[in-house]
């Protein structure tokens, strides 16, 4: 499928001060990226002519496609990245409400978790209409209302797909996208969400209908951006192409499972989408639903999420022979490296996800404020993941996807 990418005004701007911190980059002529003939960024002299003067008027090339501009928050140490190639800045660690909010933990604990996250610079909070049958959104909305934080200081995302039992309350029809999002906003007690995700592709809904419905909710002010969740690369490309063909709004990111034992999509497909069409990625389950810790050891504790009703598949995965030999054995192999870096295996696994190309944010799922604080420690581990360390991890895991090159 051929996709033409429009050259935006943003791509023609000179790099920001943050981008300059990344060091010089080659310009069109192979130099250090500075303006030819301008000297240290000075503009050409008025009335100048010739190749040097003309070259100085040519805008600098955009930032390298594989680099997400990153900055560090004041006082918190949290790092912020662009959501794909949009202008939205999100914390590289976000907080998910799957399983926990409205079901596994109390509302008081949920408030503690959200408060600690916000105070430590987390600005991305993810939920969905289907989480705890809408209770997760309601809990999140109640907490946000009680806190009184500035709406402009955080990012709320929700997902649309399975909101009810009726046939019209599921899927990605125009009717359900609009009505489902309106229901989410009522539960969240918000006027809009920052990002609405189409959760799972829907073979019953034409792609044009989905893209038009998402464009509509954005134009109506119900959402600011839209993205996909658990879509295939071909489906995302189709949505992008459809948006360009009919002058509609394309998706800005994909939500995907990505961890040490789920690598192909996160390392092969998503970076390619980022390079080609600017679609970033928000990844979830960095600990493989808790499998990437040493707490299981071949059994399922009574308090873990694998024992929750509806998650028998996770329990089976833990107790299966493959589950015992693959994740758990490899986790034990990673322990010496984690000790060498002065961190836990969980922190190492989260930091490993953060260094993946094109990843804007990694969603954390926690059941206590203490657990969240431990996971936030992955930010300190990230700077220690040198290419050599990553190669050692790949060697221990033995599951690195083959490079297309």
DSSP 330-384: HHHHHHHHHHHHTS-HHHHHHHHHHTSTTEEEEEE--SSHHHHHHHHTHHHHHTT
Domain boundary assignment for the chain: 80-296+356-379
pLDDT tens string 152-186: 999 999 999 988 889 999 999 999 999 999 999 99
DSSP-derived 3-state class of residue 257: strand
- What pLDDT is attached to residue 66? 44
d(CA 163, CA 214): 17
Q: Which residues contact 81 (CB under 8 A, 6 or more apart)?
A: 68, 69, 70, 89, 90, 92, 359, 360, 361
The pTM assigned to this predicted structure is 0.79
- Let me know: does 86 contact 281? Beta carbons within 8 Å: no
d(CA 21, CA 42): 19
Q: Does 367 score more than 50 pLDDT?
A: yes
- What pLDDT is attached to residue 159? 97
Q: Does 381 score more than 50 pLDDT?
A: yes
Number of H helices, E strands in the chain: 17, 11
Strand partners, 361: 282
- What pLDDT is attached to residue 309? 53
The two most distant CA atoms of the chain are separated, in Å, by: 78
DSSP-derived 3-state class of residue 254: strand
Q: Does 390 score more than 80 pLDDT?
A: yes
- What pLDDT is attached to residue 267? 93
164-171 own/partner pairs: CB under 8 Å, 24+ apart: 171/202, 171/204, 171/205
Residue 69's region, left for phi above 0, alpha for psi from -120 to 50, else beta, is: beta
- What pLDDT is attached to residue 130? 93
Architecture of the 80-296+356-379 domain: Alpha-Beta Barrel (3.20)
DSSP-derived 3-state class of residue 231: coil
Tell me, rounded to whole angstroms, the distance of Cα 145 from its chain centroid.
25
- Let me know: does 164 contact 152? Beta carbons within 8 Å: no
Q: For residues 370-388, b (16+ Cβ closer than 10 Å) or e, as one string?
A: eebebbbbbbebbeebeee
Q: Does 117 score more than 90 pLDDT?
A: yes
Q: Catalytic residue numbers?
A: 131
- What pLDDT is attached to residue 72? 87
- What pLDDT is attached to residue 61? 41
Give the burial class of 239: count Cβ atoms within 10 A of its Cβ; 0-12 exposed, 13-18 middle, 19 or more buried: buried
Mean pLDDT of 207-215: 97
Per the model's pLDDT, the better-predicted residue between 388 and 64 turns out to be: 388
Residue 14 CB coordination number (10 Å): 11
Q: Does 32 score more than 60 pLDDT?
A: no
Q: Where are the beta strands (DSSP E) in 178-236?
A: 193-199, 223-229
- What pLDDT is attached to residue 76? 86
Q: How many residues does the chain have?
A: 405
Q: What Rg value do the Cα atoms of the chain yield, rounded?
A: 22
Per the model's pLDDT, the better-predicted residue between 82 and 25 turns out to be: 82
Weakest-pLDDT range from 240-249, 278-287, 302-311, 350-359: 302-311
- Let me know: does 132 contact 102? Beta carbons within 8 Å: yes
Percent of the chain predicted with pLDDT > 70? 74
Residue 77 CB coordination number (10 Å): 12
- What pLDDT is attached to residue 291? 81
Give the burial class of 38: count Cβ atoms within 10 A of its Cβ; 0-12 exposed, 13-18 middle, 19 or more buried: middle
- What pLDDT is attached to residue 201? 80
Q: Does 57 score more than 50 pLDDT?
A: no
Q: Does 264 score more than 50 pLDDT?
A: yes
Percent of the chain predicted with pLDDT > 90? 64
Position 70 confidence tier, pLDDT thresholds 50, 70, 90:
confident
Give the burial class of 89: count Cβ atoms within 10 A of its Cβ; 0-12 exposed, 13-18 middle, 19 or more buried: middle
Per the model's pLDDT, the better-predicted residue between 254 and 54 turns out to be: 254
Give the burial class of 208: count Cβ atoms within 10 A of its Cβ; 0-12 exposed, 13-18 middle, 19 or more buried: middle
Strand partners, 93: 362
How many Cα atoms are found within 13 Å in the side-chain-facing hemisphere of 32? Answer: 10
- What pLDDT is attached to residue 200? 84
């Amino acid at each position: 499928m051929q996709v033409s990418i429009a050259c935006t005004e943003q791509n023609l701007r000179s790099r920001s001060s943050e981008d300059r911190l990344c060091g010089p980059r080659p310009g069109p002529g192979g130099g250090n990226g500075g303006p030819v003939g301008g000297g240290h960024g000075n503009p050409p002299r008025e009335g100048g002519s010739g190749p040097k003067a003309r070259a100085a008027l040519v805008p600098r090339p955009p930032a390298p496609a594989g680099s997400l501009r990153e900055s560090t928050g004041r006082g918190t140490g949290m790092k912020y990245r662009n959501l794909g190639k949009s202008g939205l800045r999100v914390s590289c660690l976000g907080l998910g409400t799957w399983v926990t909010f409205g079901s596994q933990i109390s509302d008081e604990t949920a408030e503690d978790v959200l408060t600690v996250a916000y105070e430590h610079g987390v600005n991305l909070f993810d939920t969905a209409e289907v989480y705890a049958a809408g209770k997760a959104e309601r809990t999140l909305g109640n907490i946000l209302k009680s806190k009184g934080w500035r709406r402009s200081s955080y990012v709320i995302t929700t997902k649309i797909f399975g909101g009810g039992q009726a046939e019209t309350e599921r899927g990605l029809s125009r009717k359900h996208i609009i009505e489902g999002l309106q229901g989410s906003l009522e539960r969240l007690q918000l006027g809009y969400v920052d990002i609405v995700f189409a959760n799972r592709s829907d073979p019953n809904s034409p792609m044009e209908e989905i893209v038009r419905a998402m464009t509509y909710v954005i134009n109506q002010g119900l959402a600011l951006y839209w993205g996909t969740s658990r879509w295939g690369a071909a489906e995302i490309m189709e949505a992008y192409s459809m948006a360009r063909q009919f002058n509609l709004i394309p998706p800005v990111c994909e939500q995907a499972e990505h961890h040490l034992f789920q690598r192909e999509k996160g390392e092969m497909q998503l970076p390619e989408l980022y390079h080609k069409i600017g679609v970033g990625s928000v990844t979830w389950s960095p600990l493989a639903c808790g499998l990437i810790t040493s707490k299981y050891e071949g059994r399922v504790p009574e308090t873990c999420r694998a024992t929750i009703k509806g998650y028998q598949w996770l329990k089976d995965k833990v107790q299966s022979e493959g589950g015992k030999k693959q994740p758990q054995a490899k986790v034990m192999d990673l322990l010496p490296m984690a000790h060498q870096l002065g961190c836990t295996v969980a922190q190492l696994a989260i930091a490993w996800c953060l260094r993946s190309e094109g990843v804007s944010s990694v969603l954390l799922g926690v059941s206590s404020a203490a657990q969240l604080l431990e996971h936030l420690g992955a930010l300190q581990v990230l700077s220690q993941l040198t290419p050599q360390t990553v190669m050692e991890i790949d060697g221990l895991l033995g599951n690195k996807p083959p490079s297309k090159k």
